[in-house]
Chains A and B, each alone.
Chain A
Amino acid sequence: MTDDLQTLCERLRASDQAALGVLFHRLRLPLLRYVRTIVGDGVVAHDLVQDVFLDLWMRRTTLNPTQPLRPYVYRMARNRALRHLRDERRRARKRAEHLGAPPATDPLQPDTLAETHQLETLLARWLEALPERQREALVLSRWHGLSHQEIAQVMGISPRTVNNHLLRALDTLHQRLKALALIP
């Protein structure tokens, strides 16, 4: 599988547009899911992922075939998504300055057991509440099946830190489940 991606990388370097097509069909959906977890909106994520592939095509000649392609593309997507978030925040701040009043933000609702009896809903909410990097590591590992080594490359941290993030995230979720006696 990785070898396959590396040959695609070679073909990309040689400006083979069909290779981009194969890559697109293979990686677009995972990337879309990943970017959505960062920006929180599917349509925005779609636009960003399109831009990622366009960018990949533009810089095809600078690709290094000895570097794993998948973490590289994930990292491109991540950078783009984070940049988008930063720009959004800045724009929101500008807008707030223009309007004078800060936009009303919903206060964080405490978990209300009364509303949600479903374990899945609870878990999803707790996942959202995890620290950003822990959640990101967990998402990449669990939903995208990236190895620790790959996650480390995407997030720009060491594999050891990835493992720590994952452990801490799992422990937090586990504690919360236990506290509610949802686990026997």
Chain B
Amino acid sequence: MNTQPSSDFSLPPELEAALKRRSETERRQLATLWHRLGTLEPPLEGVPNTEQAWNALSHRLRPNTRTASLPRQRTRLRWPLIAMLFIGLGLLGMFWLNQPRSVTVPLGIIQTVTFDDGSTVFLRGGSKLIYPRSPFSPRPRWLRLEGEALFAVAPGPLLTISTPWAHVEVLGTRLSVRAWPEASETQVTLLEGRIRVRATTQPEHALLLTTPGQHVRLSARQPFPPTPERVDPEYVLAWQRGGFVVIDEPVTTVLRELERSFGLRIEVTGSLPLTRRLTVLYQHDAQVERILQDLCLMLSCHYRRISRGFVLEPDSAAMP
């Protein structure tokens, strides 16, 4: 092999240049040393010769040409997997977006829900509001209410408020909706602007309310469209200022409303005229004991404090 660039006695040119300053004898000695070093390499032993080694290597090369196609197969298999993963993630995201959100207000307090366009819902204690997540629009297209709430809806696309007995279609307005589960009716009061009300039983007919203070009740019993009454908005919104107002509703509803407004329990023992319809008006600073006193006066009963609330008992005179 002709890999040696210089004859055995001569040093590589760079070394030669570096040794120029040394003495002649030292240069000669170093050249001899350099020559000696060349003979020092121990012989290779116990190793396959080149021919055998080449055969072994070409043997290893052959299967490699086959395995060379393996990575491509693996990528081919991987792409659908990645696509499936993305589709799965997309479906999960859509499922998540379709899951409506819900707000349930604890008893005894008032909670506010505000949407991105400034529309606000004031929810009375014990109410539940359900609405879809709408990441692409400032406010959802529909709301579902169980309970009582004041809606202040900013102008914008049509919003439908659904309750068990009524759908209310709103563009930009203020209104109060009262739809407690135990009442089996929905009350809608317009405070500002205009709204369209449909009964869930006859959704093809609509009733347009345009005058503030117009008030309708929808239930299974009443024919549609009901004749709008007029109520004082102050009464309808008394709960917002700490008042307690119930207009023409049965005693059971009044008691439930007391429970929800003040976060306590009211139990009834004995027979009280629970279906009697009442109107209770406390516009400011309603206190539960004063309401109960007045209630007992009307129903001829008395109340007793218990740990979690009150018990109403009929007066012994009223008992047979």
Contact surface of A with B, Cβ cutoff 8 Å: 1, 17, 20-21, 24-26, 28-30, 32-33, 36, 42-43, 45-46, 49-50, 53-54, 57-58, 119-120, 123-124, 127, 138, 141-145, 147-148, 159, 162-163, 166-167, 170, 173-174, 177, 183
A30-B40 in contact (CB<8A): no
Question: Which single member of A43, A50, A138 contacts B60 (CB below 8 Å)?
Answer: A50
- Chain A: minimal CB distance from B278 (Å): 87
Interface residues on chain B, size class: 35 or more
Report the bound CA distance from A25 to B50 in whole Å. 7
Question: Which single member of A50, A119, A183 contacts B53 (CB below 8 Å)?
Answer: A50
Given A1-B2, A145-B4, are A123 and B54 also a contact pair (CB < 8 Å)? no
Q: Closest 3 interchain pairs by CB?
A: A145-B3, A145-B4, A42-B47
Report the bound CA distance from A170 to B36 in whole Å. 11
Contacts of B46 in A (CB 8 A): 42-43
A148-B54 in contact (CB<8A): no
Among the stretches B11-19, B78-86, B89-97, B231-239, the one at the interface with A is B11-19
B54-A25 in contact (CB<8A): yes
Question: Which single member of B2, B48, B60 contacts A54 (CB below 8 Å)?
Answer: B60
Q: Is B182 an interface residue (CB 8 A)?
A: no
Query: Which residues of B in the span 94-116 have a Cβ within 8 Å of any Cβ on A?
Result: none
- Chain A: minimal CB distance from B49 (Å): 9
24 of the cross-chain contacts (CB-CB < 8 Å) are: A17-B61, A20-B61, A21-B58, A25-B50, A25-B54, A29-B50, A30-B3, A32-B47, A42-B47, A46-B47, A119-B36, A123-B37, A123-B40, A124-B42, A143-B38, A144-B3, A145-B5, A163-B14, A163-B15, A167-B19, A170-B30, A173-B33, A174-B33, A177-B33
Given A24-B50, A145-B3, A148-B14, are A54 and B30 also a contact pair (CB < 8 Å)? no
Given A57-B61, A142-B34, A147-B5, are A33 and B53 also a contact pair (CB < 8 Å)? no
- Chain A: minimal CB distance from B229 (Å): 87
Q: Is B39 an interface residue (CB 8 A)?
A: yes
Question: Which single member of B2, B37, B39 contacts A138 (CB below 8 Å)?
Answer: B37
Report the bound CA distance from A54 to B64 in whole Å. 9
Nearest-neighbor residue (CB-CB) of B15 within chain A: A166
Contacts of A42 in B (CB 8 A): 44-47
Report the bound CA distance from A30 to B16 in whole Å. 25
- Chain B: minimal CB distance from A35 (Å): 11
Report the bound CA distance from A33 to B19 in whole Å. 29
Contact surface of B with A, Cβ cutoff 8 Å: 1-5, 12, 14-15, 18-19, 26, 29-30, 32-34, 36-42, 44-48, 50, 53-54, 56-58, 60-61, 64
